[in-house]
Amino acid sequence: MNTGILELDIHGMTKYQAKVYLDSQLKKVKHDIYRLRVIHGYQGGTQLRDMVRKEYAHHPRIIRVEIGLNQGSTDLVLREL
């Protein structure tokens, strides 16, 4: 069952690796996906979290960045339901 949410885990990646991976996923994401949940972790520092929230806040495919209750993930909303 597809929930419309695609989870992308970037744990252990450098900022560069994570950006390349996320950009490639954004290019090929299917139309039934409306949200990307980026799992970046929170105990190992904030570099990945900050990069995701800053770099993708103004991306043309993303309408907004949502910060949920889970400190280790950030949602990139592609479209409203």
Complete domains list, the chain, with CATH? 5-77 (3.30.1370.110)
Report how far Cα 79 is from the mean position of its chain's Cα atoms. Answer: 14
Mean pLDDT, consecutive 10-residue stretches, the chain (81 aa), reads 87 94 95 94 84 95 92 93 75
| DSSP secondary structure, 50-66, as one string | HHHHHHTTT-TT-SEEE
Which of 24, 40, 35, 29 lies closest to 63, judged by CA? 35
pTM over 0.85: yes
Instruction: Tell the burial category of 68 from Cβ atoms under 10 Å away from its Cβ (0-12, 13-18, 19+).
Output: exposed
In this prediction, residue 70 carries a pLDDT of 87
